[in-house]
A and B are shown apart, each in its own frame.
Chain A
């Protein structure tokens, strides 16, 4: 379970999809980095990722990690956003039979999991059919 500070410092990415775009070569790093993996430049500007894309691949998790025990089975996929950035996340509000590589999805802000009844609620992005 993440500590409050560990959760809090990822909020710009998980709530707002803040990324870092390399000022030299245009590579978009999500999460942001200090060094561009493509050109080694260290100069970035903050941008917001696209909020739509398509499924690159997916699976249905039947044996979940403990914090997700009450959610299984659930779909997780890699989605390529319209700006070319790929994210891993849950695909929800979609019947399993309708999952398909290439399917168009959009990004929504959702609850990811919670620490029991009295614990912290963790939020982030999920994908839903477009």
Chain B
């Protein structure tokens, strides 16, 4: 397999973009990535999108997006693994370049979520859970993560306060990210007094509904070295699945798919958790970040809440997590999230993260997750 590098990144401001369509926000991000890479022709396009069918009534994104980017007749594919669709797009693009099938691949992610009302959005997101045996009984996504949170609190003594601190930290970081949907700080009190959605999770424990897109340009490392830019390599891609229904898992508080995906990625890159300088994780809910830190081996099992409380994961902590603001503050256009995570890590490794810069970051990791943990994708990036 060939070594793969990221040579271009593109992302616009995320938020509620009523004036722009799915094809428009995707094309904007793709243009930024092409310009960043200095490329005008691609060999292939891979896009991650969870549910354009339910959100905007549009499938067949391969054709639509290649067309609007002015790249037909390139081969194109839309991939889906619920909220991990963006991570899967990156993995698919990485495989395509590594295998020698294509030299220049545009990897994108997009979700246009505000063309439907709240009920329709809840329904669309719910399709990432088991429709017949979870959603049928009235559970929602905040509800599923609330089940995890309750169990984690009971088993490990994780506190309501610690959950709030995840949101506070991610908003602190997000306040430094002009592209974030919610670039402002929140306090622990604000989180604890926000509206209850599914006990014990409140609205400020939840990532928002977002319109957004993100794009990357991948090529072989040998080609990337000829460009006048720091080379960022993708040195590992790990993916794993687990049962779609939370109730079928052996341990409610443990995200096995993340553990398995990370195990593969660490082995592929020859790295250990302690070698990682900066991390982007899938904090769709505050409890998710705590469980994911544990499954990635960044902290001991059950110690995620304590680590957040001790500031271990803050911007200047030992292991900074979600310097971009995470899904919580940056926004969570589900199909785009996994790609945007990679953009943050590339910026960190290029030392272009401005006020969010983690000094001397050489190795970064992204973790993107589908549903309540039914799929996870982990990538490791290194400065070349």
Chain A residues within CB distance 8 Å of chain B: 10, 13-14, 31, 37, 56-68, 71, 74, 76-78, 86-90, 101, 112-113, 122, 124, 126
Contacts and interface: CB of A to CB of B under 8 A. Distances in A.
A65 B126 contact: yes
Nearest to A89: B137
Given A57-B154, A78-B252, A88-B133, A62 B198 contact: yes
Q: Which of A65, A86, A89 has the most CB of B within 10 A?
A: A65
Contacts of A68: 138
Nearest to A10: B132
Given A68-B138, A78-B252, A101-B150, 8 more contacts: A37-B243, A59-B150, A59-B198, A60-B199, A63-B122, A64-B140, A65-B122, A66-B122
Q: Which of B138, B146, B201 has the most CB of A within 10 A?
A: B138
Contact of A60 (B198, B246, B248, B252): B198
Q: Which 9 A-B pairs have the closest CB atoms?
A: A59-B146, A57-B151, A66-B119, A68-B138, A86-B247, A60-B199, A57-B147, A59-B198, A78-B247
Given A57-B252, A58-B147, A77-B147, A63 B140 contact: yes
A122 B131 CA distance: 14
B137 A31 contact: no
Interface of B: 119, 122-123, 126, 132-140, 142-143, 146-148, 150-151, 154, 195-201, 243, 245-248, 252
Nearest to A86: B247
Nearest to A71: B138
Q: Which of B119, B132, B148, B247 has the most CB of A within 10 A?
A: B247
B137 A90 contact: yes
A56 B252 contact: yes
Contact of A76 (B119, B122, B139): B139
B69 to A, nearest CB: 36
B138 A76 contact: yes
Contacts of A71: 138
29 contacts: A13-B133, A31-B132, A37-B243, A56-B252, A57-B148, A59-B146, A59-B147, A59-B150, A59-B199, A59-B200, A61-B138, A61-B140, A61-B143, A62-B196, A62-B197, A62-B198, A63-B122, A63-B142, A65-B123, A74-B138, A76-B137, A77-B147, A78-B246, A88-B134, A88-B246, A90-B138, A101-B150, A122-B136, A124-B137
A125 B201 CA distance: 25
A122 B132 CA distance: 12
Chief secondary structure at chain A's binding surface: strand
B123 A66 contact: yes
Given A59-B147, A65-B138, A88 B199 contact: no
A31 B150 contact: no
Contact of A112 (B134, B137, B148): B137
Nearest to B135: A65
A58 B135 CA distance: 15
Nearest to B125: A65
Given A57-B147, A58-B147, A63 B197 contact: yes
B243 to A, nearest CB: 8
Contacts of A64: 138, 140
B123 A63 contact: no
Contacts of B246: 78, 88
Given A59-B150, A59-B198, A78-B147, A88 B247 contact: yes
B139 to A, nearest CB: 5
Contacts of B133: 13, 31, 87-88
Nearest to A78: B247
Contacts of A89: 137
Contact of A65 (B140, B148, B150, B201): B140
A13 to B, nearest CB: 8
A14 B140 CA distance: 19
Contacts of A58: 147, 150
Contacts of A87: 133, 247
A74 B139 CA distance: 10
Nearest to A59: B146
Nearest to B196: A62
A63 to B, nearest CB: 5
B34 to A, nearest CB: 40
B210 to A, nearest CB: 18
Given A56-B252, A58-B150, A124 B140 contact: no
